[in-house]
Each structure stands twice: as C-alpha cells, then as structure tokens.
Amino acid sequence: MSLEVHVWGSAFDLPSIDPECLATVCLLNSFMRSEVQWKLIPNFDLSFSPNRTFPVLVDGDQKIAGYDRVLRHLRNRDMLLEPAGPAPELDPSVVSAFLRSQGQQLLDLSLYVSSENYYESTRSAYTKLLPLHINYFLPLSLRASAKARTQHLGLSSLDLDAEEPSDSRKPATNTAIPPPTQTAAQAGKVQKSITSFLRKSPHVDHIRLDSLATSFFDVLEELLAKDYFGMTNEGTRPVDCLLFGYLALMLYPDVPHKWLGDAIRRRYPRIKEHVEHLRRYFLSDLPTPPWSPAPSRGLTAPLYDLGHIVKSSIQISKPSSQAWVGMALLVGCLAFRSGAGRSPAVNYIFPAR
C-alpha cells in the first residue's frame, strides 16, 4: 500500500515553503522504512486537509494533518526507522514548542510581515506554486495570520501597508501635533517624507528585531553547544527535521531585507554550521524524495473555487464587508422611510391632518 503525503510546494531552493512541510519531507526521506511505498504531492487546496493545514498524510481512508500527527501516526504504524541509542537530553516536545512559539514569530516577521520581503520574495514564491485564482487571496490570508501572530510585538513599522502606524506602545497623549505656523500642506509633506524614509530604510525597528532574534538564537546556540539535542549520538533524529524546517527558512531565502539570515551568518556560526550540515544530509546525501505531480482537478473545480474565493475574501475583508452590510441596511432603511410616506397603508394608519 502506498502512502501519499501532500505538502506545500517548493520555494527558495528548498523542498517546501512551509517549515512544518519541510520538516515532514525531511522526516519521510530520512527515516521512512525502505519497504514502505510513499510519494510526495505538492498541493495548495486547503479544503483537502481535515484541519486546513499541510502536511496531510493519506493512509488508506485516513487523512492525517500536521507534522505532529503525521509523526505520531507513522510511529504507531511502526513505519519509521529511528536511530537507536540514548534519547537526547532535551525532550523533542520542548524543542518543537520552542520552535513553534519563538521561531514561528521570527519567520512571520521575516517572510510575511515585512512588506519588502513579502512583496519581493514571498509573494512571487507563492505565485509559482498557486494557480491564479488561489494566488489572489491565499498569500494575503497567510500574511494576515502572520500579522495577527506578531501583533503583540509592536513591530508594525515593518508593514508599510498599514494605513497608519498603529503603535500600541505610543502613549495616549498626542505630542506630535505640528506647530501652528505649519500649514496643512507642509504637514502633509513631512508625513510623506517620513513614510518614504521608512520605505528606504531597511533598519526600521532594527534594535527590537535584533533583540527578538538574539533571545531565540542565544538559547539555541547554547543548547547546541551543550549538546542537548543529542547531536553526537548516531546520526540525525526526527527533531532535527523540525529544527531544519524552521532554521532553513530563516537562513536560505534570498529576501531583500536579510536581517534574520544575517544574524545567523554573522553571530551564530554553530547554528549556521549545523543547518548546513543538515541541508547537506537531507537534501544532497539522501536520494531525492519521490515527488509526483499535483492531483488533476476535475471539471467542477473552477465552480468550487469560485465559492471558495468568495468565502475567503469575505473572511479576509471582514471589517469592510461589515461596513458594506451596514451601509446597505442604512440605504434600505432610508428608502423604506421615504417610500413609506407615500404608501397608502401607512397613510391609513396615520391619517394626514
């Protein structure tokens, strides 16, 4: 029996654009027992997945979504050939929680929230993966969720699309009122030049970004140095796949604003070395994973997609759609009122004087 594994497609010279999918590709390619038949399928249709994420493992009738569940399922079916030897000192669940809580934030900021990187690299990477109609809304919704995840960090200046920099750290008192001698046109000019300065400057909020990256990489570097991952044991372990998934997407994408990759390259040689070692192992030493083409879409697919687009675009533009509904109701009420004055039924109830 053959297993199918559906993942996000390849980008940035890596097998997948998503850290968890990348981890899954590495996991299957290095630990799957040789007698198990399996194939990788690049996919983009989130409705295929039971919980709207990739990777999805299709095992007979079962669909299993998410790296953790896939790993559990493969272990239960005894399909993985994991290295023997003492377990690493650091529990794999600790590493995955650490990567998902802190690593994910950094990836979000680097690939999705930062306008430069998103428009120059990430979006074009998705354009190569997605058909036109899905490319219209899916990257946008991924970016919206990345923004939601990093909102509490107060790094909104990275996102130059925000209509006004809504800085939550700003004190309530408004001290930025222009002096009275300044005319409105001048004030507008000042604001414009600040925005253009932000557009030019790649080092907006650099200090805060740097401290975020430092707090993540410092811990990782020290954990690597003290060998809490159990690197010196036999070969790689499943937890290395997840580590590679996140760190490779930090280090390798060729984005215009490379603060994250540069931080690793300049200050954390041990992390860089380890990721490069894993890359050689997972992507060069091992045979290429068995990719197959994306499943063909039936004739009804376009119709289905249309419904999907409408649903998703309503989800994305929630506030504005609410505004439209409100507007429509208002117009309706006004029309009703103006019409009601002339309606005979109403005139009958309230006779004119």
Q: How far is the CB of 333 from another protein (least distance, A)?
A: 25
- For residues 253-272, which are near another protein according to CB under 8 A? none
Q: How far is the CB of 321 from another protein (least distance, A)?
A: 18
Q: How far is the CB of 26 from another protein (least distance, A)?
A: 21
What is the spatial distance between Cα 155 and Cα 205, in angstroms, rounded to a whole number?
7
The residue among 8, 26, 75, 63 whose CA lies nearest residue 245 is 26
What would the x/- binding string for another protein be over residues 129 to 168, using CB under 8 A?
----------------x--xx-------------------
What is the spatial distance between Cα 56 and Cα 48, in angstroms, rounded to a whole number?
8
| Single residue of 36, 44, 48, 53 touching another protein by CB under 8 A | 53
- For residues 64-93, which are near another protein according to CB under 8 A? 66, 68-69, 72, 90-91, 93
Count of residues binding another protein (CB under 8 A)?
29
Q: How far is the CB of 160 from another protein (least distance, A)?
A: 22
Residue 138 one-letter amino acid: L
Nearest residue (CB) to another protein, 51 versus 320: 51
| Single residue of 86, 180, 298, 344 touching another protein by CB under 8 A | 180
What is the spatial distance between Cα 112 and Cα 116, in angstroms, rounded to a whole number?
9
| Single residue of 170, 203, 226, 297 touching another protein by CB under 8 A | 226
Nearest residue (CB) to another protein, 63 versus 69: 69
Q: How far is the CB of 104 from another protein (least distance, A)?
A: 8
Which residues have a Cβ under 8 Å from the Cβ of 178 and sit 6 or more positions away? 186, 187, 190
What would the x/- binding string for another protein be over residues 199 to 218, using CB under 8 A?
----------------x---
Q: How far is the CB of 170 from another protein (least distance, A)?
A: 13
| Single residue of 228, 252, 281, 291 touching another protein by CB under 8 A | 228
For position 313 contacting another protein by CB under 8 A, the verdict is no
What would the x/- binding string for another protein be over residues 101 to 120, using CB under 8 A?
xx-x----------------
| Single residue of 222, 227, 234, 254 touching another protein by CB under 8 A | 222
Nearest residue (CB) to another protein, 137 versus 255: 137
Q: Which residues bind another protein (CB under 8 A)?
A: 46, 51-53, 66, 68-69, 72, 90-91, 93-95, 97-98, 100-102, 104, 145, 148-149, 180, 215, 219, 222-223, 226, 228
